[in-house]
Chains A and B, each alone.
Chain A
Amino acid sequence: MDKSTQVRDWWSLEIVGMPGFDMAMKRVYAWYQNEILDRPPIRFQAHNAFLEAAKEDISKLSKQEKKAWWFEVETQVELFEKSIEGHHFHGETFPVFWPNLGPEVYAAFYGAELEFGEVTSWSVPLVRDWDEVENLKLDMGNQYFKKIEALTRYALERCPGKFLVGYTDLHPGLDCTAAWRDPLQLCLDMIDNPEGVERLADIAIADFQTIYDHFDAMLKAENQLSVSWMGIPSFGRMHIPSCDISAMISPEFFRRFGLPILQREVKTMTHNIFHVDGKGVASHLDVILRVPEIHAVQWVQGVGDDYPIMQWLAFIKRLQGRGMPVVVDLSKEDLNEFMEVMDPKGLFLWVATNNEEEEIEILKRVEKWN
């Protein structure tokens, strides 16, 4: 095989602050296979921690100023660098910068406008009339696509030896369709014009591989791994399929509108970790797990009444029983009780901590878990 076309399946990266990179990757790969090496992998960060940790106070800025701030390439990358300066990364806590303009950026690649808040953004519905569907075209030259490219490029310049660069949060399929139409309107559409929804969802998945490949190629050209907001890397093609709007629809509608898209979305990936955002999405899990390319799930029990994790043990055990690797997010206060009643096999723990000492102590505790 020509060297330039040879597909590498393992390489090492030097990251200051993470001397155990190779061993961490071995634990991650064992987890992908539903196996354990010496202990289950642990990431010392809570789900959505990036939302909580506002990097700069932009609350007083106007809408336009907020957008400008999100668009400042140097600021975004350098704030991330500052946040990891002098930090030691324990367990499987990979320092990852991923370019972020909010979860609806995929919809914006087709012309949807984004409105920016302090920690996330929202898309303005783009398809008001069904006639407008014809206008939906992927535009790799639009401001959002170019900005994600610029953020990726600058991060790649700055990352060597310090951090990994990932790809942005891509939500094709039904969630993109919801962004284009407005979620409640899409719910009405499912009854009023189901064929229209199928057509729209088809457009929302048609270019996914092109978009994914574009950013994957940018990263792989610079010796990077495949990783995104979840911070779980792969040497192959890692993706985080999800379908948040499924929490609002019946199993029948999910099978009709969501499943066919999901099957296309995961096709070319080596590692798909399905993001199960709460009990509403979990109600479709039996159908989701019938897709053989789903390699693992991330369980997010949510906040409010659905927190903490201890009420979901039976659910997690069921996933383990099916041989499905699962990411769980738990508080350090729950850890001992959790370890007492759970088998570590197939689990990837996410635990928020306050300092390094806590992380080292937790690692010692988890090493004894069997």
Chain B
Amino acid sequence: MAQYLETISKSVIEGDMTSVSEGVQAALEAGIDAGEILQAGLIPAMGEVGRLFEEGEYYVPEMLVAARAMKAGLERIRPLLMHSNVKPAGKVVVGTVKGDLHDIGKNLVAMMLEGAGFEIKDLGTDVSPEKFVAALKENSVDLVGLSALLTTTMPMIKSTILAITESGLRERVKIIVGGAPLTQGYAEEIGADGYAPDASRAVSLAKQLIG
């Protein structure tokens, strides 16, 4: 079994989508449980990708192909996971706040969280506080990720947190924030639960908050 999982993991790290897909199929045919493939093959591989990114060995292109390869493997086992007891690591809503159309950082965070086993609902860019609140009401969400790239749109993160608080949902969700102009200090000042400087550290933070 270890050999199958090792092959899957290595292929994710190398960003080889075809090998991951074939590796997952081979593992399933060998009788390995889909949950095991996820928990012991795909997710640890993305953890390693995050480590390589943080250490400056991987850059965004390498991270993206790894996330894509992971997703190819995930697609293979998703129908089986629905029938097993495997639960997502948590449900997360992400979005770039109102007035801001930048999505690179937010997309990377969403991909890495998905790679870590979280279920993601991506609201896109230019998302109003009301839309965030509505998404929280519709889904049983554990974590919200708010992103802003501009100093001019950064205050909208605070407004969104305020809207979530006023809607009475604040106690039910953790909120993490990120984007170039943000800092840990600002995150604390506006009442966020955490700040992550990059996608990899957003995963660590999410695990720490709702793990």
What is the interface of chain A, defined by CB distance below 8 A to chain B? 51-52, 54, 59, 115, 117-120, 122, 183-184, 187-188, 190-192, 248-250, 253, 278, 302-305
Contact = CB atoms under 8 A, between A and B. Distances in A.
Majority SS at the chain B contact face = loop
Contact of B64 (A120, A184, A278, A303): A184
Interface in B66-114: 68, 99-102, 104, 107-108
A305 B181 CA distance: 8
Given A248-B59, A304-B179, A304-B182, 20 more contacts: A59-B99, A115-B101, A117-B99, A119-B150, A119-B152, A122-B101, A183-B104, A184-B104, A184-B107, A188-B65, A191-B61, A191-B62, A249-B60, A250-B59, A250-B62, A253-B59, A302-B180, A303-B180, A304-B197, A305-B184
6 contacts: A117-B100, A118-B99, A184-B104, A188-B68, A191-B15, A192-B65
B121 to A, nearest CB: 19
B151 interface: yes
Categorize the interface residue count of chain B: 20 to 34
B183 interface: yes
A218 B101 CA distance: 33
B204 to A, nearest CB: 17
A181 to B, nearest CB: 13
Nearest to B63: A187
A187 B99 contact: no
B65 A191 contact: yes
Interface in B117-173: 150-152
B122 to A, nearest CB: 13
Contact of B197 (A51, A188, A303, A305): A305
Contacts of B60: 184, 187, 248-249
A188 B61 contact: yes
Interface of B: 15, 59-62, 64-65, 68, 99-102, 104, 107-108, 150-152, 179-184, 186, 197
A278 B197 CA distance: 14
Q: Nearest 6 CB-CB pairs, A to B? A: A248-B60, A303-B181, A187-B61, A250-B59, A122-B101, A187-B60
B101 A117 contact: yes
Contacts of B182: 304
Given A248-B59, A250-B59, A305-B183, A187 B64 contact: yes
Contacts of B15: 191
Nearest to B178: A304
Contacts of A248: 59-61, 104
A205 B186 CA distance: 40
B152 A54 contact: yes
Q: Which of B100, B101, B107, B108 has the most CB of A within 10 A?
A: B101
A114 to B, nearest CB: 11
Nearest to B126: A117
A214 B68 CA distance: 43
A303 to B, nearest CB: 4
A302 B183 CA distance: 12
Given A118-B99, A118-B152, A184-B107, A190 B183 contact: no
Contacts of A122: 101-102
Given A117-B99, A303-B181, A304-B182, A190 B61 contact: yes
B61 A249 contact: yes
Contacts of A250: 59, 61-62
A303 B181 CA distance: 5
A179 B64 CA distance: 18
A187 B15 CA distance: 13
Q: Which of B61, B182, B186 has the most CB of A within 10 A?
A: B61
Contacts of A249: 59-61
Q: Which of B60, B64, B100, B151 has the most CB of A within 10 A?
A: B60
A73 B197 CA distance: 40
Given A51-B152, A118-B99, A304 B61 contact: no
Contacts of B183: 304-305
B101 A52 contact: no
A97 to B, nearest CB: 21
A302 B107 CA distance: 21
